[in-house]
Amino acid sequence: MTSLFPSPCPVLPGFNTLLIHGPYHWSAPIHLCLSHIAQHPESQAVILAPSRHQFRGGLLNCRDDWLNVHGGEGLITHFASKVQILYPPKLPHLNFTLSLLHETQPSFKNFYNSKVSFSVSPSFLVLCEISAYVEKAKDPTVSTYLSIVTRALATLDALSSQCVISPSLVIFDSRVGQLKLPILTPIVHHEDLREEEKIKSSPMAKSEPVLHFAGKYFDWVGSVHEDRNVDSRDPQCNRKCRLELSKRHNPETFISWKEYSSPGRHDAIVFVFEPSS
């Protein structure tokens, strides 16, 4: 089963679509892909993120001890070689990249690119921080966010006929829980400022929580909550978190953990799990 942590650890329920939001640890997408490849060695995974600097910086700041210790081992590097990470910076680049993902075939011999051409059709697609794409877009609305989700689902649907296993979509977005956008883009008549003020105050321009709409597209929605009240008697504990996984907005399961400074390597973090409640 797939997981957001290094083994041994709690596993996620089976899913085809999963949304994780809140202050997740930055190594979670890596562990999720590695655990998927370990379970399905014949498969391929793709991670798309808007910023190489942010993604790599997040991994470095996460200071995951397991990745530091085991990331260079033969089996792990073999699994990692089946995970392609791409950094389309803006929404048009993301859409274009999604449209290019394909399995190499004789009919495509004149179109081969090592970044988007795969010997086996990708069956595990991970999108990170897609709120960043929406925030860069001109006059974004709720549908701007949802269009990314539906385009990713359409990409997997197009690839599914060639996938050896059922394809899955996972989105990690730490900010979607706070993201609010209008349903529709207000129509502004610049020649009439009074009319413009009316439009800005109209229900059409009212911002709505994007998560309310986006969550409907996923089998499971996982919300990460950070407990700020870390026990002062436990000085090695850096962070205490809880992942609430819900299916159709009904609480189903929880994963609780603490992030400790690694013994002997205080600049690294290990995950310690608490009993499920």
Name the burial class of residue 123, with classes exposed (0-12), middle (13-18) and buried (19+) by CB atoms within 10 angstroms of its CB. Answer: buried
| Amino acid found at 60 | L
Query: Can you name the CATH fold of 17-274?
Result: Rossmann fold (3.40.50)
- pTM assigned to the model: 0.88
Asked whether 177 and 223 are in contact (CB, 8 A), the reply is yes
Domain boundaries, the chain: 17-274
pLDDT < 50: residue spans in the chain: none
Asked whether 252 and 245 are in contact (CB, 8 A), the reply is yes
Beta strands in the chain (DSSP E): 17-21, 45-48, 83-86, 102-103, 117-118, 124-128, 168-173, 180-182, 207-209, 220-227, 237-247, 250-262, 265-274
Residues 219-252 pLDDT 10s: 999 999 998 777 667 777 888 999 999 987 566 7
Please state whether 206 falls in left (phi above 0), alpha (psi between -120 and 50) or beta: beta
Q: CB within 8 A of 274, min separation 6: which ones?
A: 256, 257, 258
6: Cα separation from own chain's centroid? 17
Question: In percent, how much of the chain has pLDDT > 70?
Answer: 87
* Residue 164 pLDDT: 73
* Residue 152 pLDDT: 96
Question: d(Cα 252, Cα 14) in Å, to the nearest integer?
Answer: 13
Q: Tokens for 71?
A: 């990331």
* Residue 261 pLDDT: 86
